[in-house]
Structure 1
Amino acid sequence: MIKPTNPESYALITWTDSLQFKACFLSFAAQVKGFVGGCRPIIRIDGAHLSGYYKGVMLTAVAIDGNKEIFVLAYEIVDTESIDSWTYFFRNLRSLFAQYESQKEDWTFISDRMRGVESALFEVFPRATRRICCQHLYSNCKAAGWSGATFHKMFWIAANAYNEYVFEKAMSKIKDFDAAAYDYLKNVEEQWSVHMLDRTVCCDHNTTNFVESFNAITKANRDMPVLTLLEAGGGEFEVRDGHVKFPVTLGNIACGCGKWQGSEIPCKHGLKVIYNQRLDPRDFVSPFYKGLLTNSLMETTSTP
Structure 2
Amino acid sequence: MGCDSYHKAWRSLQHACNVIRGIPENNYTLLPQYLHMMKLRNPGTVANIKWTADNKFKYVFFTYGASIEGWKHCRPVMMMDATFLKSKCRGVLMIAVEKDGNNSIFPLAFGIVDSENNESYRWFFRHVKKVFGTRKDLSIIFDRHSSITTAIKELYPDTQHGICIYHMEKNLQKYFPSEAILSLFYNATTTYKQAEFRTYMSQIQQIDPKAAEYIEEEPPKRWARSFHTNRRYNMLTTNNVETMNFVLRKAREFPIMACIDYIQNKLQNWFYQRKLDATGSSHDLTCWAKKILLEKISRGFTMKVSFPVNLVNGRVMLAYVPGNNLLDNYVSTLICFCFDLLVQRVLFLTAILLFMAALLVDSLLWRNLICITASCWLIGSEYGVHRLCLSLDLLP
The alignment's TM-score, normalised by the length of structure 2, stands at 0.55
Matches within 5 A, 1:37-56: 38-56=73-91
Aligned partner of 1:57 in structure 2 is: 92
165-174 or 104-113, which deviates more: 104-113
Which residue identity is paired with 2:154? E
Aligned partner of 1:9 in structure 2 is: 45
Q: Does the 8 A contact of 2:46 with 2:65 survive in 1?
A: yes
Cα 1:188–1:151 shift into 2, 3 Å: same
| Cα separation, 1, equivalents of 2:93 and 2:244 | 11
Matches within 5 A, 1:150-229: 150-189=180-219, 191-199=222-230, 201=231, 203-229=233-259
Q: Displacement, 1:179?
A: 0.8
**Sequence identity (%):** 30
User: Which blocks of at least 5 consecutive residues in structure 1 are unaligned?
Assistant: 237-304
| Cα separation, 1, equivalents of 2:150 and 2:190 | 27
Q: Displacement, 1:233?
A: 4.9
Partner deviation per Cα, 1:89-134 (whole Å, 9 max, x = no partner): 1100111024xxxx53763110111240111111111111110011
Which residue identity is paired with 2:258? T
Which residue identity is paired with 1:217? V
| Cα separation, 1, equivalents of 2:141 and 2:188 | 18
| Cα separation, 2, equivalents of 1:105 and 1:10 | 23
Q: Does the 8 A contact of 2:39 with 2:47 survive in 1?
A: yes
The alignment's TM-score, normalised by the length of structure 1, stands at 0.71
Cα 1:117–1:56 shift into 2, 3 Å: same
Partner deviation per Cα, 1:29-53 (whole Å, 9 max, x = no partner): 11011012x1011100000000111
* Runs ≥4 residues deviating over 4 A: 233-236
Aligned partner of 2:113 in structure 1 is: 78
Q: Displacement, 1:2?
A: 2.2
Q: Does 1:107 align with 2:148?
A: no
Q: Displacement, 1:234?
A: 8.1
Q: Does 1:117 align with 2:148?
A: yes
Which residue identity is paired with 1:157? N
SS of residue in 2 equivalent to 1:222: helix
Among 9, 28, 32, which residue is 2:68 paired with?
A: 32
Q: Displacement, 1:211?
A: 0.8
SS of residue in 1 equivalent to 2:111: strand
Which has the larger helix fraction? 2
Partner deviation per Cα, 1:18-75 (whole Å, 9 max, x = no partner): 2211111111111011012x10111000000001111100000000011211000000
Aligned partner of 1:256 in structure 2 is: none
116-125 or 227-236, which deviates more: 227-236
Cα 1:134–1:75 shift into 2, 3 Å: same
User: Which blocks of at least 5 consecutive residues in structure 2 are unaligned?
Assistant: 1-36, 267-396
What's the Cα RMSD here?
1.8
Partner deviation per Cα, 1:263-290 (whole Å, 9 max, x = no partner): xxxxxxxxxxxxxxxxxxxxxxxxxxxx
| Cα separation, 1, equivalents of 2:57 and 2:178 | 47
